[in-house]
Structure 1
Amino acid sequence: MNLKSMLARPFATYIHNKIKKGMETAVADQEAIFKSLIKSASGTAFGKDHGFKDIENYDQFKRQVPIRDYEGLKSYIQQVKEGKDNILWKGKPIYFAKTSGTTSGIKYIPISKDSISNHIDSARNALLCYIAETGNADFTAGKMIFLSGSPVLERTGGIPTGRLSGIVNHHVPKYLRTNQLPSYETNCIEDWETKLDAIVKETINQNMTLISGIPPWMQMYYDRLTELSGKKIKDLFPNFQLMVYGGVNFEPYRSRLFDSIGGKVDSIETFPASEGFLAFQDSQHAEGLLLNTNSGIFFEFVPANEIFNDNPTRLMLGDVKVGENYAVVLSTNAGMWAYNIGDTVKFVSTNPYRLVVTGRTKHFISAFGEHVIAEEVEHALMQAANEQHVKITEFTVAPMVQQGEGQSYHEWFVEFETLPFDMRSFAQQVDNNLRQKNVYYDDLIAGNILQQLKITQVRKNGFIDYMKSIGKLGGQNKLPRLSNDRRIADQMQEFLAQ
């Protein structure tokens, strides 16, 4: 055991105990954060425009501050980009996290001096909870990698600007710098495939103990390592102990990732976003991610089917129920006010407040009123895959609208690592699973409005080539699992299996 491992354990116990105490005060902490945010921002341009000095309770806040997306805050963010201060939050942001949006183009999400600790400490706390619960701190002695965006920052209105993962890279504690891979020079490579080759070259002969990133890009990393070495990842890195992931639902990737690893490793799931680090897995034994209730973020939850209503139901933490699907709305100490981040969640526990991510508010299919969501399609596919010993690489689903009763259907574009023995039977099982999860879809099938879903096979590496073709390969870019139109489906036609 080295010095870092020895020192990590008592610190992990200290932080873990604080987090456990916070579980008991979550609702009170949220109320205190709400009051603190309103008071701190009362002198900002946004605070003055929305009468923050007169807000005394949550009901007033709901009346005076409507839910917004990025477009709704864009005029304020533009003022910040022009160099003005005290617009959304006190002073100026210390960073802009740059992220791509489907409707707003590039988005510039402010990170303040007050909010940066949320991004840094939450990732640290996830690891410390793991150490405290398992007693395993040995991984701190080896090399650790986070498959991230470039740490090179440009300036927007004088404010350093870049991908969130690149910004966070500047705040890795000094005591972990000697453990961190890849090198700064490699991390700065913009082209993902060139960068991936450089990462593989740097790490293939190292003592890797922790690997972190979003699942599809970890899979690319594992595949490249195996191609080069001819070995499973656990054989290549015998001391590899911990995999940290987030950004997408892990279940569709689980089987193939662990098959690539070829041995037991523990894993930690996180829920980071440019707007804030929302939740993390605090236990290897409990379901769900612990909500970050005392980290500068005030949470609101809106029933997912109401999020686009003019006057949706808005709930504080104390009013949520287990099993309901909610859209997440944030107000933060970086100045994002009643901001719809586009993610949906479902609480699996309210003592403590643990949740699972169920999808995106704009990623659904409801061409016929079925409102199928990501959680449902992922469950339907993976249950069938597990039962028929099929391995899935990637998939996306879109509606096919055709004239005539019973002519329309859902088209599933699936890239297989191992094919079903009988594709027709596999499609039937996926369809049955989806009917069991979604009563509206079941009614449409039973009523002959829709026919059974159809599976279109994507060729090997087809989704990688698709993402490359639209300039979104690597980094934190993710493939939408569901679309309510045929935009992605039509583009996938050139990547199908022969």
Structure 2
Amino acid sequence: MKVKSTLAKPFANIIYNKIKKEMASALKDQEAILQYLLKTAKNTQFGKDHHFDTIKNYDDYKQTVPIRDYEALKPYIEKIKEGKEHILWKGKPLYFAKTSGTTSGAKYIPISKESISNHIDTARNALLCYIAQSKNANFTNGNMIFLSGSPALDRIANIPTGRLSGIVNHHVPSYLRTNQLPKFETNCIDDWETKLDKIVEETIDKNMTLISGIPPWVQMYFDRLTEKTGKKIIDLFPNFSVLVYGGVNFEPYKQKLFDSIGKEIDSIELFPASEGFFAFQDSQTEKGMLLNTNSGIFFEFIPTEEIGKDKPKRLSLKEVTLGENYALIINNNAGLWGYDIGDTIKFVNLNPYRIIVSGRTKHFISAFGEHVIGEEVDFSIAEAAKKFNTKIIEYTVAPVVERGNGKSYHEWFIEFEKQPENLPAFAKEIDNQLRKKNVYYDDLIAGNILQQLKIRPIQKDGFINYMKSIGKLGGQNKLPRLGNDRKVAEGLSPFIEK
């Protein structure tokens, strides 16, 4: 008898029923979390600086605590790094999650003993919801792989510090530890390609049943396995039944991943970040991810047209509407207050509250007033790929601003598995789809301000080599899909097909 799968099913039902109750109490839970956060942190330096003891409700809170990004929060973080206590949250953080910044260099995100369960339990709950709904618990009997960053941790002010995925690796439940691959020593390898070769060596003859990671790095793992064996993934791992992913939109990678596998299998989408685990796919039949409304995070939402204003309009969960893009703002039990995580989301259901990630607040193109976002380009290229029966490995988009009499345009850098026979027609189809999704872009094309987008095919493994050249190959690193400048475009120039 398979003990793990047998025990998993009743436990999954218990957790799933609990989550269904929380769906109905989401608004009440959010109000309670805000009060708990304010009460717990009122004697911290941040709480005193912002008069937490006088705040009675959300309206008071908005007046007292401004929206911040990491740069604005950094002075408080620096005090914690100096060894001081009770700064953003009571005591000292349990961990610092170290993540790449843009203007800030490395960012150090506090994780407290109260907030660590948000990261651990949410990942568990996503799997248990899947088991409860699908009745498939067989994957718990096999080997599972989590393509992640190194679990090796440094110390800052005696606080263990490292990548979030590495921190979480230390908290894998003991009942799953025996199933987990790769080995701890392999996970500690810094060089991604060396690590990947070792992962392939360790897993190639195992009973792999669940594979988890950011889609481009999962694809790279699949490619290495196929190069070594000449087989589809399902022929290597006949019991592989669950793909868990997050970090980027799945749609552009979906067809190639499933082709590599050899068939379509169940997948579970997650929305984790160093700042918190915000949402997870709770259903195989309903669109979107369930917002994590009872896990120590109080959420706020800023309509995207308000982003960048001194005093943007801020909404609580009860004020949101379907279909509008919002910047996601969090307040959590690790001491992040009015914190802009940089992602935009859209509600696809309000009962329960389910979302999709629609883009990044800093990843867009609006060089000409079009404000094209990630969701729109992902949709457009996916529709074109479907129509032309082609597979996309990776892509990114940047503006080209022509001087003088030349017309400006969007430049798409695309690595194809097999390039469409009629590339101009493929470009035209992407352009048409984007015009349908974005009225401003449509107006600029119709008004002869912009010309149709142009495609620059990228050579095989060009994006991998680009990421390697900037020291961001593998792990949790993601390629920006959109840029309002040409930094990524210029970096890709050596990898354009001649």
Aligned mates of 1:6, 1:384 — CA distance in 2: 44
Question: Residues 278-427 of structure 1 correspond to what in structure 2 (within 5 A)?
Answer: 278-404=278-404, 407-427=407-427
Equivalent position of 2:465 in the other structure = 465
Equivalent position of 2:135 in the other structure = 135
User: Normalization by structure 2: what TM-score?
Assistant: 0.99
Aligned mates of 2:97, 2:23 — CA distance in 1: 29
Aligned mates of 2:305, 2:163 — CA distance in 1: 31
Contact 1:406-1:451 at 8 Å conserved across structures:
no
Aligned mates of 1:384, 1:317 — CA distance in 2: 35
Contact 1:406-1:450 at 8 Å conserved across structures:
no
Give the match's secondary structure for 2:313.
coil
Amino acid at match of 1:428: K
Aligned mates of 2:406, 2:343 — CA distance in 1: 32
Give the match's secondary structure for 1:346.
strand
Task: Give the percent of matched residue pairs that are identical in Structure 1 and Structure 2.
Answer: 69
Equivalent position of 2:27 in the other structure = 27
Contact 1:431-1:452 at 8 Å conserved across structures:
yes
Amino acid at match of 1:228: K
Equivalent position of 1:492 in the other structure = 492
User: Normalization by structure 1: what TM-score?
Assistant: 0.99
Question: Residues 87-486 of structure 1 correspond to what in structure 2 (within 5 A)?
Answer: 87-404=87-404, 407-486=407-486
Aligned mates of 2:410, 2:467 — CA distance in 1: 22
Aligned mates of 2:307, 2:320 — CA distance in 1: 15
Residue 159 of structure 1: how far off its partner (Å): 0.2
Gaps of 5+ in 2: none
Residue 311 of structure 1: how far off its partner (Å): 1.0
Give the match's secondary structure for 1:478.
coil
Residue 306 of structure 1: how far off its partner (Å): 1.3
Aligned mates of 2:328, 2:307 — CA distance in 1: 9
Aligned mates of 1:354, 1:24 — CA distance in 2: 13
Question: Residues 34-45 of structure 1 correspond to what in structure 2 (within 5 A)?
Answer: 34-45=34-45
Give the match's secondary structure for 1:410.
strand
Give the match's secondary structure for 1:463.
helix
Give the match's secondary structure for 1:212.
strand
Residue 326 of structure 1: how far off its partner (Å): 0.4
Contact 1:405-1:448 at 8 Å conserved across structures:
no
Give the match's secondary structure for 2:417.
strand
Residue 455 of structure 1: how far off its partner (Å): 0.4
Amino acid at match of 1:149: G
Residue 406 of structure 1: how far off its partner (Å): 5.6
Aligned mates of 2:377, 2:265 — CA distance in 1: 27
Q: Deviations over 1:303-329 (max 9, x none)?
A: 012121111110000110010000000
Aligned mates of 2:416, 2:231 — CA distance in 1: 21
CA RMSD of aligned residues (A): 0.7
Amino acid at match of 1:361: T
Q: Deviations over 1:102-129 (max 9, x none)?
A: 1111000000000000000000000000
Contact 1:343-1:357 at 8 Å conserved across structures:
yes
Amino acid at match of 1:291: L
Q: Deviations over 1:274-328 (max 9, x none)?
A: 0000000001011000000000000000001212111111000011001000000
Aligned mates of 2:90, 2:143 — CA distance in 1: 39
Aligned mates of 1:139, 1:380 — CA distance in 2: 34
Contact 1:406-1:448 at 8 Å conserved across structures:
no
Residue 491 of structure 1: how far off its partner (Å): 1.2
Amino acid at match of 2:476: Q
Give the match's secondary structure for 1:370.
coil
Amino acid at match of 2:28: A
Amino acid at match of 1:206: K
4+ aligned runs moved over 4 Å, structure 1: none
Residue 182 of structure 1: how far off its partner (Å): 0.2
Aligned mates of 1:328, 1:249 — CA distance in 2: 17
